Each structure stands twice: as C-alpha cells, then as structure tokens.
Structure 1
Amino acid sequence: MKILFLSFFDPFLVETGVGAHIKGLALALDKLGCEIHILVLTSKGCCQVENRVKVYGFSRFHNYFLHLPVVNGHILPLASIGLVNKMCKEYGIDIVHGQSPSSWAYSLLRECRTPFVVTLHSTSFGEFSSYLDMSVSNVNRGVVIGALSEIFSAFLTSIEYAYADRVIAVSKAIAEDAIRYFRLPRERVTVIHNGIDLKSLVNFGFRNDEVREHVILSVGRLVWRKGFKFLIDAMPHVLSEYSDAKLFLVGDGDQRRPLEQHVKKLGIDDSVYFLGRISKERLCSLYKIADIYVQPSLYEPCAITILEAMSMGKPIVATSVGGNPELITDLAEGLLVEPKNSLQLANAIICLFSDSSLKRKLGINARKKVEKEFTWEKVAEKTLELYKKMLDGV
C-alpha cells in the first residue's frame, strides 16, 4: 500500500508533537510493508530517504517567510495542490494522509479520487478557549498571534474535515470535540491515540540514587494552555514540605518571560529551572533522575510527553482534561487533579514524595501500560486497518 503524508515540517529534522507522530507512524507503517512518501511543505530540495521513507521538499519561499503563520498555515497548502495531485498519479498513491491543517487545500481541490484521511491533533476551539481566562498581565504579542491563528485555523480545518473521507482523532476527547464543533458524523471519526518509540528513550529505570533532591519534571511549549503557571504556584506549597524539591521545565514559548518573572516574584529562583529546548539525550537524563512527571495542562489532546515519561517508568501527575485521563488512570499510573488547581497539584506531588512504594508502583504500571497499548506498532496496525476499510469503501 502506498501512502502520502502531508506535513508542514520534516519530521526527521524538526522536533514537534505532530512531527513525532508522523515519524513514528511512518516508520512503523514501513515495517508493515507500506511504501511511505512524505511531502514537507516548509522544506526545500529534492527527495531524501530516511529509513526507506521518502521525504520530498516543496517550499519555494525564503526561510524568513516560512515562520509566518499566514504562509505555512494558509498559503503553502494552497500552493502545493498541483504537486500533491501530480504525486498521487505519478506514484500510484493509495491513501493521502493529512495532518491538520496542512492539507485543507488538498481536501477542497483534489483532482483525483484517492481516499483522503486527516489526523486531528487538536481543535482550534479547544486551543482558543484556553486563552479566554488569561489575566491581562500574561497577554503579549505571541498570545495575540496565537489566538488569531487559531481563529483562522478553525475556518480552514472546517473545510478540511468537511471534504475528508475519514478523520482520525488522537483521543476520545478530541473526537467528541470534532463531532460537536465540526458537525462530523460519528461514523466518520476514528480514535487512534498517539504512540511512543520505546527504543528512542534509553536508560529506562528509576532515579539515580546519587541525586539527593526531590526532582519534578515537566516538558512542553511554554504557552498558556500548558498550565505551567499553576505548577509554579504549587511549588511554594511543595517546598514547605520538601525544601530540596527542584522543578525542571523543558521547552520554550511566549510565556517563558512572564513565567520567569513570576518565579522571581515568588522568590523560588533556586528551585525552578527553565532549560529551554534541549537534546533528546539530555531529556533522557532528566527523565532518569526525575521522581515525578507533571502535566498541568488546561487543554491537552493526547500528550506524547506523558507517554515518554510513562515509558521511562515515571509516575504521572496530570490535570483531568482532554486525553490525559485516557492515558493514565487515577491511582493506577498516576494521580489526576483538577485544572488550574495549584493546591491539588502540590498535594499530589507531596503525596508521591512521601510514599515511595506508591510512587514506584505507579511508575511500573505506567511502563507496562505504554508497552501494552501505546507503541507506534499498535498505532500503525490500527491505522493500516482503517486504510484498508477506506479502500474497501467501508
């Protein structure tokens, strides 16, 4: 079976959640015998081969313009239509698989009747709603651009889903959003969660005994919807019980400066560390020494970072929003708390710090669950089954 993926960024070069999804799924489908082609809208140059997966660059724009949302989100998909239609005919593509909203124009203007499926990684309605309760002090240029971008994306994705043959949602929560906001028939929506490459994160095991502090780790873009402010607000409560506690925040974004200022205001500079973007090797080291992984999101479709932490045998503290409760069960692989509730976050962290046997049990359960349910091999098998149904007209 020949599959054409449409992607904004080269999943083998750019580390993003969607990129990790495309890379993991493409490689797993390749192992199942599929012929994989990936058209990258923001890359230049000819075909490159990554582990037998063929990656094609398309963009004719200068690199500066590629970072503008109006270019990579709106113009590039439209400009690429001719090439996508040509590739479908030239390579005999069986399925075109878009990653919202990179394929909105193809869904509207495709010339051939190649079956088309799109993966819904989040909804613009959910993304936008997370901005609504922000205080004025947290609003900056990045927030305004992000909010406006979500409004445009909502319009484009509504086109995409209206013309797609099938929609894959990365969680049940996202599927319900798609059915509710985009008026999609339930039978056109299939839930297939994200996966994880168990071999990509090495040195699985529990924390290094040489590390004496109580270590908390959280990974993600430093944007409002990730809820890092509420995790930072939880730290004074945690420090009152465990004065040696350290919080490591991995990632960057428009909220980094406000968050750094907030940490200084709380007087906990010595306990909270902003690490920015780091290498996979360093991230593995942090997972290794962390006692607890925390996901304080206000909106979260299906966090690959949670799956990464689970694969490293870490107990999870997460807000009960979006796809989080689908990945972890309260008191089984982690602890679930209410969103925007710093006190509950603090109490959950303190609970795990004070009960090493519970912490270890949740970590072991987390690893087992990932191995059983959330590998890319499992995701590829479910996706291939959907492809076959589409080709059979089911």
Structure 2
Amino acid sequence: MSNQVESGARRVKVAYLTNAYPSVSHTFIRRELVELERQLGEVARFSIRRTPYALVDPEDAKENDKTFHVLAQPPARWARALVRTGLRKPLATARGLLTAIRLGVNSQRGLARHAAYFGEALLLLDEMRERGIEHVHVHFGTNPAAVAQIVCSMGGPSYSFTVHGPDEFDAPLGLSLGSKIAASAFVVAISDYCAAQLRRWTAPEHWDKIRVVHCTVGPEFFEEARPIDPASRALVCVGRLSAQKGHLLLVEGFADAVRRGADAELVLVGDGELRADIERAAEQLGVRNRVRITGWCGGAQVRAELLAGRALVLPSFAEGLPMVIMEAFALGRPVLSTYVAGIPELVVPGKNGWLVPAGSRPAIADAILEIMRTPVADLERMAEHGRDLVRARHYTPTETAKLAQHIRDTRPKPP
C-alpha cells in the first residue's frame, strides 16, 4: 500500500460524514481524515450539525470552515435540493423514504426522527452529486450511518462506517445495525472486541464486510514524550464528564486511597453534564482541594496535563477503545483502566498498567495506592511497553493506509 496520493489511475472521490464535526472530543477523526486526504487526495467534509462545544483547538477551527453542516444550510438550499433531487427523481425518492420508514419502525427514535433523516439525506444527496462524491465514510453507527444508508438507497454514493461503541452496542436493534452493515460497502471495527459485537448483530454472509482498523495517535504524542517527574503526584483522567466514564466512582475510590495514605492529586481534563455532581462529591468526601477540573482543553493542553501526571486513570463503565489510552502510552505514561470492551487488548496488567473490574470502588483505591507506591523507574518501563504496542498497532499512516485500501476497493472492477 502506498502512503502517497494515487497517481495514474483515477482516484475515488471521497467524503466523510459525522454527526458533529469538528468537535473537541473527535480529534482522532480529524487526524484520520487529514492522513486519508494525504493518501487519497481531497476528502469532502460533511456533518449533520455543528458541535455544541467551543472549538478551543485552532486546527478544529480550520476544519470547521471546510465542513458542510447540513442543519446550518439556509432554506433556499433545502428548497433547491427538494426540487432537483426530491421531485425530479420520484422513484429514487420513494426508495429513500421507504428505507427511512423501515429504519424508523425498528428504532427507539421513531418515524418522525427518521423523516428528518430522510430530509437530511435529500440535501446531502444533492450536494454530493454536485461535488461528484463516489464514496462516503461515516464515523459512528448511529444517525449519520442511517442518513448515509438512505442516501445510498436513492442512488447516491456507496458508504462505509466506523463503529466505536459503546452507543452502538447499547441499542443494536434500535439502531438497525444489521441493516446498515448489509447495505454498506464495508464496516470498520476499531478493535477485535468491536468486530465480535458486530458479528452478533449481522448475518454470517455479511461478516466479510467487517474490517478491523484501529484508531491512531499522531506523531506529536511520540515526539513530545518525556520521563515522569519523580515529584509528580498527579493522576490524570481525560474525557467528557458523563455517567459512562465513571468519574463519580473514581472520586470515591480516590478519596478512599487518600484516607489510606496516598499523597495524590486527581486532575479531570474535560467538562460535561456531571461536573456539578463531581464537585459536590469531592467536597463531601473531603478531597475537593485535591481534585482539579480543567474544563475543555485543546490538544496541546491535554498533552501537557498528561505529561505532568504520574499515570492516566480511566475507570469507565462502558467504552469502545479510548483514544486517550493510546495517547497516554505514546507520551510515556502507564494506564489504570477497567476490564471493558477493547481496553484489555491494549492495557496489559503488570506489563503496562492496571485493570480493575468496572464499578469496583475498592479496586480503584487499591490500584491508586499501588501507582503511588511504584517507583518511577518501574512506571517508565511499563509506559515503554505501552508505547511499543501503540506504535505497532495505532500508528496513523499504517492504519489509515488500511482504510484507504478498503475505500479503493469500493470502485467497480474493470470488465
């Protein structure tokens, strides 16, 4: 596989579609997209909506200017799509509407929401035809994949999509995951665990569409790696402050460890709906002066917080395979996480980190105490093991080259 833009043979015109792009929590999509563009040529950016979060990273701001946001388009653009694509091609439009109805009947979101997806698909189909798009790659198997399936059913470009979890695994029937896979050119799983879950919800004749392509970290993480400061007492957790990430239990386990003698600080990098609850819990547990919440950060600040820490802690209840684990290893920090989804494929207890049962407050406290008591030289050796794994499995050019080849393979074979 070449890592250079194709020459000679005609290139496939590719687009990316996501629910909200760019977004503070989706820098891995930007990284993959930019590398794919380097390998395949220009990639069009499409997003259903704008992110609700402030774009604190300058690179995200640049991406925002390049992105076609469906719900931000003026009424005149919707009207043009309705006339050019909806009314002039009634049979194709009927197929799209029928696809939306079939998806909506099985979905918890209902027919009304899928009628909206049908409208979004009409606009996207019109815009993609105007740009000559031949294949669309979607991130997440939720509503953007439904929209891509409706577009395809109306004679639009073929599509593929990446499944991350855990949202897709929480409602595979309601999301019509099997139908989306069957209608796709291929589907990407980010881990072997993810691929196994996809096989649960699609017929065996479609298993050959499932391809494992890992998410990746950029070279800046390896380049900025530095030794752990022996004086560091910081344990760093990166992620949206939401129920599935386990922050409240982390604060409880952290407080237990402090009461048992751990001289540590907990840094929560991110923001979200549980911030007030977390702050209240830290106050009630007597560790508010040891818990710091940064709010949303750009990529450079996230890396700075990880580098200032002793280890990454991520006690998630549900996951796919968190990007921040790869980032922490690349920067030279060991990881404490849970036996959830694809995490054990990367975090190996005793080798590069600690794994605890999800939901176990005592296990979190025990692991925190062990991290704080482990000599820095041993932490460095663990981090090196993790860095080697990330370099082998999650290197951006090589993993993106796999995706690029899968996309190339969607082109019709010459007679």
Q: Normalising TM by the smaller chain, what interval?
A: 0.7 to 0.9
Match of 1:15 in 2: 24
1:183–1:205: structure 2 CA closer, same or farther, 3 Å change rule? same
Equivalents in 2 of 1:24, 1:34: separation in Å? Answer: 15
Match of 1:29 in 2: 36
Deviations 1:200-233 (A, max 9, x none): 6863212345xx3511000111111111222212
The question of 1:106 aligning with 2:148 is answered yes
Equivalents in 2 of 1:40, 1:293: separation in Å? Answer: 31
- How far the C-alpha of 1:241 sits from its partner, in A, is 4.7
What letter corresponds to residue 334 of structure 2 in structure 1? P
Do the aligned residues in 2 keep the contact of 1:226 with 1:299 (CA within 8 Å)?
Answer: yes
What are the equivalent positions in structure 2 for 1:259-270 lying under 5 Å apart?
Answer: 259-270=278-289
Do the aligned residues in 1 keep the contact of 2:271 with 2:296 (CA within 8 Å)?
Answer: yes
1:173–1:201: structure 2 CA closer, same or farther, 3 Å change rule? same
Do the aligned residues in 2 keep the contact of 1:329 with 1:335 (CA within 8 Å)?
Answer: yes
Match of 1:86 in 2: 126
Equivalents in 2 of 1:33, 1:389: separation in Å? Answer: 12
Match of 2:136 in 1: 96
Give the counterpart of 1:199 among 216, 220, 226: 220
Equivalents in 2 of 1:156, 1:178: separation in Å? Answer: 12
1:392–1:98: structure 2 CA closer, same or farther, 3 Å change rule? same
What SS does the corresponding residue of 2:219 show, helix, strand or coil?
Answer: coil
Deviations 1:136-161 (A, max 9, x none): xxxxxxxxxxxxxx69x933655533
Equivalents in 2 of 1:340, 1:43: separation in Å? Answer: 34
The question of 1:38 aligning with 2:45 is answered yes
Equivalents in 2 of 1:291, 1:3: separation in Å? Answer: 42
Match of 2:68 in 1: 56
Equivalents in 2 of 1:220, 1:57: separation in Å? Answer: 25
Match of 1:167 in 2: 187
What letter corresponds to residue 322 of structure 2 in structure 1? A
Match of 1:189 in 2: 210
What SS does the corresponding residue of 1:155 show, helix, strand or coil?
Answer: coil
Do the aligned residues in 2 keep the contact of 1:123 with 1:154 (CA within 8 Å)?
Answer: no
Equivalents in 2 of 1:383, 1:243: separation in Å? Answer: 45
- How far the C-alpha of 1:61 sits from its partner, in A, is 6.6
What count of residue pairs does the alignment treat as equivalent? 352
Equivalents in 2 of 1:75, 1:286: separation in Å? Answer: 44
- How far the C-alpha of 1:284 sits from its partner, in A, is 2.1
Match of 2:84 in 1: none
TM-score normalised by the chain length of structure 1: 0.79
Deviations 1:255-286 (A, max 9, x none): 22222222222111122222221233322221
Equivalents in 1 of 2:313, 2:244: separation in Å? Answer: 14
RMSD: 3.0
Equivalents in 2 of 1:234, 1:369: separation in Å? Answer: 28
- How far the C-alpha of 1:352 sits from its partner, in A, is 2.6
TM-score normalised by the chain length of structure 2: 0.76
Match of 1:363 in 2: 383
Equivalents in 2 of 1:252, 1:58: separation in Å? Answer: 26
Do the aligned residues in 2 keep the contact of 1:78 with 1:106 (CA within 8 Å)?
Answer: no
Higher helix share: 2
The question of 1:273 aligning with 2:298 is answered no
What letter corresponds to residue 19 of structure 2 in structure 1? F
What letter corresponds to residue 79 of structure 1 in structure 2? G
- How far the C-alpha of 1:182 sits from its partner, in A, is 4.9
Instruction: Return the index of the structure with the highest Cα Rg.
Output: 2
Percent identity over the alignment is 20
Do the aligned residues in 1 keep the contact of 2:16 with 2:45 (CA within 8 Å)?
Answer: yes
What letter corresponds to residue 344 of structure 1 in structure 2? A
Match of 1:117 in 2: 160
1:202–1:79: structure 2 CA closer, same or farther, 3 Å change rule? farther
What letter corresponds to residue 26 of structure 1 in structure 2? L
**Bigger mean CA deviation after superposition, 239-248 or 176-185:** 176-185
Equivalents in 1 of 2:115, 2:232: separation in Å? Answer: 49
Structure 2, unmatched stretches of 5+, are 1-11, 52-59, 75-108
What letter corresponds to residue 383 of structure 1 in structure 2? L
What SS does the corresponding residue of 1:231 show, helix, strand or coil?
Answer: helix
- How far the C-alpha of 1:179 sits from its partner, in A, is 2.1
What SS does the corresponding residue of 1:103 show, helix, strand or coil?
Answer: helix
Do the aligned residues in 2 keep the contact of 1:353 with 1:359 (CA within 8 Å)?
Answer: no
The question of 1:339 aligning with 2:358 is answered yes
1:273–1:49: structure 2 CA closer, same or farther, 3 Å change rule? closer
**Bigger mean CA deviation after superposition, 227-236 or 118-127:** 118-127
Do the aligned residues in 1 keep the contact of 2:235 with 2:309 (CA within 8 Å)?
Answer: yes
The question of 1:377 aligning with 2:397 is answered yes
Equivalents in 2 of 1:174, 1:234: separation in Å? Answer: 29
The question of 1:239 aligning with 2:258 is answered yes
What letter corresponds to residue 186 of structure 1 in structure 2? W
Do the aligned residues in 1 keep the contact of 2:190 with 2:212 (CA within 8 Å)?
Answer: yes
Do the aligned residues in 1 keep the contact of 2:134 with 2:158 (CA within 8 Å)?
Answer: yes
What SS does the corresponding residue of 2:378 show, helix, strand or coil?
Answer: helix
